[in-house]
Amino acid sequence: MIKKRKLCKLANIGYNLLKVGACIAICFDAMCFGNIILNHSGDKRFYKSLFYQDAKLETGGNEILVILHDFSDEKAYIVKQSIREIDYLSANLNYVFADEQYIETDQVLNIYNNCDLSNISAAGVCVSRFDQMTASIKYPLTIKLERGLVNMVDEYDNNVTLLSAVTTHEVMHTLGFNDLRTDKWLGKSIMYWNIDDSSDNGVNKLTESDKQAIIDKYGPSTEEIEKE
């Protein structure tokens, strides 16, 4: 029997698990637990603050340094492609791949490969903090990927692997995108929470709807468009 892989498993997470920071989607800090429950229906695109603002990653115009840990060249290439696609769609996100020894900023996204996530049966985990007052997601950002994520999830598209699907999904979490759990999102977004069901419905990378949402949130401002 093939083991069901879930991108994120938020449904059955007990409070204790959240408390020790082993959360799945974005692991908000303690103040934020209420919000995860608030968004539990998984119908809304973005995590919400106490004041119901959409969560957003602030960059301050600076580069986001991406550090890959324990990746072969082949796997690093797949992960970089996923991140570059998001970078390309956004005007305000500037991802730069870097070596750990050169890091002097905390505006960092760490991605760890080959993690053992079997205890939470998730393919990926995203950890960051969330400021309820400003609705901003805080650095450093951390993504952990289950070991062995590389097999194809699309028999027609060789570029799409489980690794690229999960990476894209988790990076979207760092941008404030919520897990989508209702059936109306099945086959419509990479943020649908279950990769098996998603793949069965033809979605294992950014959809047009996802791309538009990235552009709306992180694309050029109206002023910038008018200037052009």
Binding site for Zn ion (CB under 5 A): 7-8, 25, 179
Confirm if 10 and 179 have CB atoms less than 8 A apart: yes
Query: Judged by CB, which is closer to Zn ion: 160, or 172?
Result: 172
The distance of closest approach from Cβ of residue 183 to Zn ion in the complex, given in angstroms and rounded to an integer, is: 17
- d(Cα 8, Cα 14) in Å, to the nearest integer? 14
Distances (CA, A) of 134 to 57, 86, 107: 10, 23, 17
Nearer to Zn ion, 11 or 133 (CB): 11
For residues 132 and 198, which CB has a smaller minimum distance to Zn ion in the complex?
A: 198
* Closest residue to bound Zn ion by CB: 8
CB of 185 to Zn ion, least distance (A): 12
Complex with Zn ion: residue 146 or 179, whichever CB lies closer: 179
Query: Which residues, at least 6 apart from 63, have a Cβ–Cβ distance to it below 8 Å?
Result: 94, 95, 96, 107
Tokens 């002097």 belong to: 104
Q: How far is the CB of 45 from Zn ion (least distance, A)?
A: 13
Question: How is residue 164 written in tokens?
Answer: 């690229």
In whole angstroms, how close is the CB of 100 to Zn ion at the nearest point? 26
